[in-house]
Amino acid sequence: MKTIDDYNFEGKKALIRVDFNVPLDGDFNVTDTSRIEAAKPTILKVLEDGGAAVLMSHLGRPKGQANSDMSLSHIVEKVSEIIGVQGKFVNDCIGDTAEAAVSELQDGEVLLLENLRFYAEEEKGDSGFAESLSQLGDIYVNDAFGTAHRAHASTTIVANYFPDAKCFGYLLAKEIKAIEKVMQTGEKPVTAILGGAKVSSKITIIENILDKVDNLIIGGGMTYTFVKAKGGTVGDSICEDDKMELALDILKQADEKGVKIHLPVDVLAADAFDNGANTQFLDVNQIPEGWQGLDAGPQTLENFKQVILESKTILWNGPVGVFEMESFAKGTIEVGNAIDEATQSGAFSLVGGGDSVAAVKQFGFQDKVSYVSTGGGAMLESLEGRTLPGIAAILG
């Protein structure tokens, strides 16, 4: 696996695909800088070698049309502030204007190209567009895990034009190694904690990881599909009736593979999907009509904690309750605390997937786990066992 450490960028221009698809407020201020900060080490490596960095990214979904609200010009000052080098900006990403800006770029300088998705050819994976991008650098560096599952021009196709000069940036290399550690090389016992609302959205992941894990903790809304499939009463809890057969099949497969499945035994139930609803703790199998399970109960959390603390490798994908509401956040916080404790004792912990990453940030766990993935969809597809096109393009 070629990484940025395999190259010396002295006198070279690195064409770096970063993921600067960051949230902006109404005044175009960046409200979450974590993606820019994550790309900083790769950019600095190029500059410290004595090279120049040409950064390309998308922002939002302009659908192939130039749109001033989604211009990357809005983030130049924030990127400059984080990297510690005043960045330049060019209002195109291919053609004469972009090429002229690159040719004027000096060693030690950073140039941010305009939004790639102002061209429909980017998302189409157009080879002509990719070839135009390739004119802007000597070495291609992919450091955008968040888009590695897309076969877009800048993430995949452009690599074809750098047959002997392409590599992973630090961030993407770390993502690949973190997933490998969970899926292939992790010290046992390996525990996966899967939460979220629906079995259907996690089925491919479950089927893929059953051969890799020793324990599978199931929480969140998909609990109730399993509980009802096993004959329990779930009241008004979210439940995919058409996936109950699938839930039973998962339990059977796990049993055959020697994987222990840990389901909640009690829940915090509410009489409405509302932060101010009436609540009570109930046996997970005996939730009456008019009530719905919205968080894990105390005995469940104690059970989950014991499994987590005995684990050496931990994957967390999905909250175990409706953490967005304060009344139902305790379960997710307690799972985070247990993972924190296990990590301090030497376990490797990987958090990935939009909701779990949001929870980790909300409750301040991002520095208490081993690794927080930067890519939602890319992370999920990796866990499903797919080879991501953006990764395959560098390896090929």
Q: What is the pLDDT of residues 18-67, one digit of tens each?
A: 999 999 999 999 998 989 999 999 999 999 999 999 999 999 999 999 99
Please answer whether residues 209 and 217 qualify as being in contact, where contact means their C-beta atoms are separated by less than 8 angstroms. Answer: no
Among residues 13, 17, 35, 166, the one annotated as catalytic is 35
Q: What CATH code is carried by the domain that includes residue 78?
A: 3.40.50.1260
**Do the annotations mark residue 21 as ligand-binding?**
yes
In this structure, the answer to whether residues 49 and 104 fall within a common structural domain is yes
Q: What is the mean pLDDT of residues 163-187?
A: 93
231 is catalytic: no
In this structure, the answer to whether residues 74 and 211 fall within a common structural domain is no
Q: What is the mean pLDDT of residues 195-224?
A: 92
**Do the annotations mark residue 11 as ligand-binding?**
no
- Note whether residue 179 is domain-resident: no
* Cα separation, 385 vs 378, whole angstroms: 11
- Note whether residue 261 is domain-resident: yes
In this structure, the answer to whether residues 84 and 158 fall within a common structural domain is yes
- pLDDT at 383 > cutoff 90: no
pLDDT in tens, 288-311: 999 999 999 999 999 999 999 999
Torsions phi, psi for 55 (to 5 deg): -100, 130
Per-residue pLDDT band for 375 (boundaries 50, 70, 90) equals confident
In this structure, the answer to whether residues 78 and 163 fall within a common structural domain is yes
> For the chain, what percent of residues have pLDDT higher than 70?
100
Per-residue pLDDT band for 354 (boundaries 50, 70, 90) equals low
376 is catalytic: no
pLDDT in tens, 303-347: 999 999 999 999 999 999 999 999 999 999 999 999 999 999 999
Per-residue pLDDT band for 378 (boundaries 50, 70, 90) equals confident
Choose among 310, 212, 228: nearest CA to 263: 228
* Cα separation, 390 vs 149, whole angstroms: 6
pLDDT in tens, 230-241: 999 999 999 999
- pLDDT at 376 > cutoff 70: yes
Instruction: State the pLDDT at residue 262.
Output: 98
Using CA atoms in the order 207, 350, 344, 44, what is the torsion angle rounded to 10 degrees? 160
**Which residues, 6 or more positions from 103, have their beta carbon under 8 angstroms from its beta carbon?**
none
On whether the pTM is more than 0.85, the answer is yes
Please answer whether residues 292 and 328 qualify as being in contact, where contact means their C-beta atoms are separated by less than 8 angstroms. Answer: no
**Do the annotations mark residue 355 as ligand-binding?**
yes
In this structure, the answer to whether residues 154 and 202 fall within a common structural domain is no
**Do the annotations mark residue 150 as ligand-binding?**
yes
Among residues 147, 173, 199, which one ends one of the domains? 173
In this structure, the answer to whether residues 195 and 165 fall within a common structural domain is no
**Do the annotations mark residue 149 as ligand-binding?**
no
Q: Containing domain of residue 273, as a range?
A: 186-383
Among residues 198, 230, 305, 312, the one annotated as catalytic is 198
**Do the annotations mark residue 315 as ligand-binding?**
no
* Cα separation, 208 vs 379, whole angstroms: 13
Instruction: State the pLDDT at residue 315.
Output: 95
Among residues 173, 200, 235, which one ends one of the domains? 173
In this structure, the answer to whether residues 168 and 290 fall within a common structural domain is no
In this structure, the answer to whether residues 167 and 191 fall within a common structural domain is no
- Note whether residue 106 is domain-resident: yes
In this structure, the answer to whether residues 130 and 192 fall within a common structural domain is no
- Note whether residue 213 is domain-resident: yes
- Note whether residue 226 is domain-resident: yes
Q: What is the mean pLDDT of residues 376-390?
A: 85
Choose among 253, 251, 323: nearest CA to 294: 323
In this structure, the answer to whether residues 344 and 300 fall within a common structural domain is yes
Among residues 40, 177, 260, 354, the one annotated as catalytic is 354
Instruction: State the pLDDT at residue 380.
Output: 82
Strands ordered across the beta sheet of 166-168: 88-90, 110-113, 52-56, 13-17, 139-142, 166-168
Amino acid at 248: L
Instruction: State the pLDDT at residue 269.
Output: 98
Among residues 124, 147, 173, which one ends one of the domains? 173
* Cα separation, 223 vs 51, whole angstroms: 52
**Do the annotations mark residue 95 as ligand-binding?**
no
Among residues 64, 108, 377, 385, the one annotated as catalytic is 377
* Cα separation, 177 vs 313, whole angstroms: 13
- Note whether residue 388 is domain-resident: no
Strands ordered across the beta sheet of 266-270: 279-283, 266-270, 292-296
Task: Give the three-state DSSP class for 302.
Answer: helix
Instruction: State the pLDDT at residue 292.
Output: 98
- Host H or E run for residue 309: helix 298-309
- Note whether residue 267 is domain-resident: yes
* Cα separation, 312 vs 323, whole angstroms: 26
* Cα separation, 364 vs 156, whole angstroms: 34
- pLDDT at 382 > cutoff 80: yes
- Is 285 or 378 the better-scoring residue by pLDDT? 285
C-alpha angle 133/72/44, rounded to 5°?
70
DSSP state of 2: -
35 is catalytic: yes
Name 168's bridge partners.
3, 142
pLDDT in tens, 72-129: 999 999 999 999 999 999 999 999 999 999 999 999 999 999 999 999 999 999 999 9
In this structure, the answer to whether residues 239 and 359 fall within a common structural domain is yes
Strands ordered across the beta sheet of 215-218: 260-262, 215-218, 190-194, 313-317, 348-351, 371-372
Instruction: State the pLDDT at residue 267.
Output: 98
198 is catalytic: yes
Sign of CA dihedral 147, 150, 154, 158: positive
pLDDT in tens, 240-266: 999 999 999 999 999 999 999 999 999
In this structure, the answer to whether residues 86 and 208 fall within a common structural domain is no
Q: What is the mean pLDDT of residues 130-137?
A: 98
Q: What is the mean pLDDT of residues 150-154?
A: 95
**Do the annotations mark residue 248 as ligand-binding?**
no
Listing DSSP states for 59-114 in one string gives: -S--TTS--GGG-GGGGHHHHHHHHTS--EEES-SSHHHHHHHHHTPPTT-EEEEP
Instruction: State the pLDDT at residue 374.
Output: 77
Cα–chain center distance at 81: 25
**Do the annotations mark residue 293 as ligand-binding?**
yes
Per-residue pLDDT band for 198 (boundaries 50, 70, 90) equals confident
- Note whether residue 180 is domain-resident: no
**Do the annotations mark residue 113 as ligand-binding?**
no
Domain total in the chain: 2
